[in-house]
Chains A and B, each alone.
Chain A
Amino acid sequence: MPSKRVRLENPVVALLSAIRVQTNANVRAYHLQSLLFFIDRHWNVMHDDSQREVTSAILQFLSYDDPLIQSWSFMCFAAIAHAVGVDRATPINPSTQALDNSIWDSIWTHAMRRSNVPAVCRAACHVAHTMLHHAKALLSPQRVLTEIETLAKDLDVQGPSFPYDSVCGFLVRCIRVASQDVRLYRMQLEEKVLTWLMDSWRPSAIIRSKMPLHCVEDVLNLLEHICGTNRKAQLVCQVALPDCRIVEALTEDHSTAIIRNFLLHAQLPPFRAPSAAGKPQLAISSPVLPSQANAPGSADLALPRGRERRISGFLLKSLEDLIQIWETPKDILGPMTAERTRSSLDFAIIALLFESTLVLDNTRSNRRNIQAACKLLRLLAPLTVDSRWTITEKALIVSAWDPLILSEPRRNGTEPWESLLLPEEESGIRREVLNKFASNVNTSIQREKAARIELQRVLFYSSDASLISSS
């Protein structure tokens, strides 16, 4: 007798209705997170109808009153925007447009309006940032400019509540967009961003128990864009993954994905030159040494202009505040936490890196800043060995040095597997095509590393000679 087949329920639909039906905000947020992971991995595989359904559901959620739901809805849209943007950027077979372009414009507007609401601004800026990244595919240029103009007008008075990671990234993009439009350029967005930054970022008023939601690279990148410096080395700031079996399993899973894709799905990754990362190299002794002409204080360096001076002044003031805090006896200080120690270390390193960036940009750096930052480092360094910390806390504090020592991201898991080798001349491919293959990826990785090392060198060179003694 034929058995009854169980009807399969569409899990996505089930998820969406679970979100609608639930009244508890945390449970709803949890379901939204599941939806987010699903979108992140499989959006382009979904049917048009499903895509439309999900999109309209999330649009509804956006209008709910709860900031938690709004934030996660924004995150979902960011994932969709990214998937669609990447898909439309591939020249081969972009999928048909399931979603109307007008939807993006309206989400963009919505996000921009919410970018200064404290509870939601981090997520709103994240989705705005993602959309700007894919602006060509998603947004109409006029809308982009209009909204950035609106943002710029009020930024110094009413902006995002804190320079979160996504906020920094978003403002960097806005500055780039503004620099290419005459009207926006005249508004001097950089000045407004700077004023906002000095107002919303209080490095000395550090939260005791949580790390600030940005890293050294985020803030440094923003400072550089405010000053319009030329060099853009992206430093490595990694958040340590939690230590547990699941993370280990997922990391190995990720490393071996290339093998699984070949064996199970007959797929090989798109062709690119094998990464030079992991192969030993002499990059550390790169020929790019700070020449004498670049020595800080050298007469050949230009004087810092208005914005650089404002930033240096702001950094100095905060450094001095922090020095005072860390110098006073511990009972006035209050409970000293690892997070506080680490975030103060981060700030000193930001200050040093900023001054080094100036030098690389042929501008004189501020001697007092460098000395103050070094003094703060001197005060904090002995604390890393303090016996009160647990191992995890020590790991948190000591990782502050990462941006200064890493020239490439630390690898979790096994060294990546190569799929196919680079084709050679004998393979019969035309030379012009061959050259194109070989050049791009490899040299950009090398250039990134060289830029990082250059910045790190300048930092050590410019800092007080007694920064590191050969003990």
Chain B
Amino acid sequence: MSEVMGTLRDLLRAAVGHVPDEQSDPDAMHVDDHDDFGPSRVSKDSGSPSGKEQVIARSGALRQIVDVCVTSLSVFPVLQSSSGESTRDKQLTELVVDAEGDAFLLLAPAYLNNVRHKILNVNLSAFESLLEKFELLLRSYNLSRSTEIQILTIQLLHSTMHIWIQEAIAQTEIGENVQGLCEWLASLLSTSKLPSWVARDLVVRFLDDYFPLDPGQKAWPEDIEADFRTPVIILTTFGGDQDVRVRFRAAAANARLLHFAPKLGVQANTLYHNIRQNLSKNLDECVFLLHRILYILQFIVSGMNPC
């Protein structure tokens, strides 16, 4: 029965090996030679129907294959072990770290998801390799603006939170690298360079999960420069976000934040004021107004009494 895990690994490798072959697609946009991340495409097989449908069709099935394989490789050892501790899988981590281009985009989300659920264990050296890989990706001008890479980076921070929040790690070089990523994220937000609502939504969820784990915000870079903001401030600004979906998510997150005020070391009053400031006062903008109502409801329901 040893074949099962081995087969899953083979299938996973084959699946990511299937990915991009830019030259074969005559409709391909001109792709910068240094850029592995052409428009996300999957290579065509012979005898398959025309271009676009096939591409779309494959990517969903491919993602499913990757998801099942990665999850199985992560979950099987846990179920089998009597201690139930999370799986250490060097081969899988190497596969992810070594992947390039679309293969990486395919593998990373499934991998990070299992890390987040603490099914997969990432040791420090693996974490370091991952961080290095992301830093490399972000240095390229093209990639640092790629929505997918931005989303993946936020996912990285979110999924590995339980590692870098630890005080011992925060002091090391790894901790510094993570802080670098946090600063990058904060600066993108303050300069409105995160155009994708999905990415901003993810930031809200990330911060929402971050505060209970690190109320003192010790792992976050200190507010050195004037235009950097603390995570608390960042979360409050989402009340005024352009996208209704992000605002809706932020409503619940901000209400929870208010609840945490004493633990965060901020005055509930001040926090409430900050949150309110970000909500639109424009009576013409009906949608924004409805959001004020939602916020008020949240506060009533959670019994906040900042006055």
Q: Which residues of A contact B (CB under 8 A)?
A: 240, 243-245, 256, 258-259, 262-263, 279-282, 284-286, 289, 374, 377-378, 381-382, 384-385, 390-392, 394-395, 398-399, 401-402, 404-406, 410, 414-415, 417-428, 453, 456-457, 459-461, 463-464, 466-471
Contact = CB atoms under 8 A, between A and B. Distances in A.
Given A244-B56, A384-B7, A420-B297, A280 B118 contact: yes
Interface of B: 1-11, 14-15, 18, 42, 45, 48, 56-62, 64-65, 67-69, 71-72, 75-80, 82-86, 116-119, 162, 198, 201, 205, 209, 244-245, 248-249, 252, 255-256, 259, 287, 290, 294, 297-298, 300-305
Closest 6 CB pairs of A and B: A426-B303, A285-B84, A427-B303, A243-B60, A469-B2, A395-B61
B132 to A, nearest CB: 24
Contacts of B14: 385
B68 A421 contact: no
Contacts of B248: 258-259, 262, 417
A61 to B, nearest CB: 36
B57 A243 contact: yes
A284 B56 contact: no
Nearest to B162: A280
B68 A405 contact: yes
Given A424-B259, A456-B79, 11 more contacts: A382-B3, A384-B11, A385-B11, A391-B58, A391-B62, A394-B65, A405-B71, A417-B249, A418-B249, A464-B1, A467-B4
A427 B249 CA distance: 21
Contacts of A378: 1, 3-4
A385 B209 CA distance: 39
B60 A281 contact: no
Contacts of A284: 75, 78, 84, 86, 117-119
Nearest to A259: B248
Contact of B298 (A289, A384, A421): A421
Contacts of A385: 7, 10-11, 14
Given A240-B64, A263-B244, A415-B205, A468 B5 contact: yes
Contacts of B287: 263
B69 A398 contact: yes
A421 B252 contact: yes
Contact of B68 (A391, A402, A460): A402
9 contacts: A243-B57, A281-B117, A392-B61, A394-B61, A421-B252, A426-B304, A457-B79, A468-B2, A469-B5
A280 B290 CA distance: 31
B255 to A, nearest CB: 5
B238 to A, nearest CB: 13
B302 A421 contact: yes
Chain B contact surface mostly: helix
Contacts of B209: 279-280
A421 B116 contact: no
A426 B162 CA distance: 31
Contacts of B298: 420-421
Contact of A471 (B5, B61, B85, B303): B5
A471 B45 contact: no
Contacts of A414: 198, 201, 245
Nearest to A412: B60
Nearest to A238: B64
B41 to A, nearest CB: 13
A399 B84 CA distance: 24
Contacts of B56: 243-245
A461 B79 CA distance: 8
A470 B64 contact: no
B256 A391 contact: no
Given A243-B61, A420-B301, A468-B5, A259 B245 contact: yes
Contacts of A460: 76, 79-80
Nearest to B252: A418
A43 to B, nearest CB: 29
A391 B76 CA distance: 23
A469 B78 CA distance: 12
A283 B299 CA distance: 31
B68 A399 contact: yes
Contact of B1 (A262, A374, A426, A461): A374
Contacts of B11: 384-385, 394, 398
Contact of B72 (A401, A418, A426): A401
Contacts of B2: 466, 468-469, 471
Contacts of B71: 405-406
B56 to A, nearest CB: 6
Contacts of A240: 60-61, 64
B306 to A, nearest CB: 11
A153 B298 CA distance: 58
A461 B82 CA distance: 9
Nearest to B115: A280
B43 to A, nearest CB: 10
Contacts of B9: 471
B59 A243 contact: yes
A399 B61 CA distance: 10
B64 A280 contact: no
Which of B60, B201, B302 is packed against the most chain A CB atoms within 10 Å?
B60
A427 B80 contact: no
A401 to B, nearest CB: 5
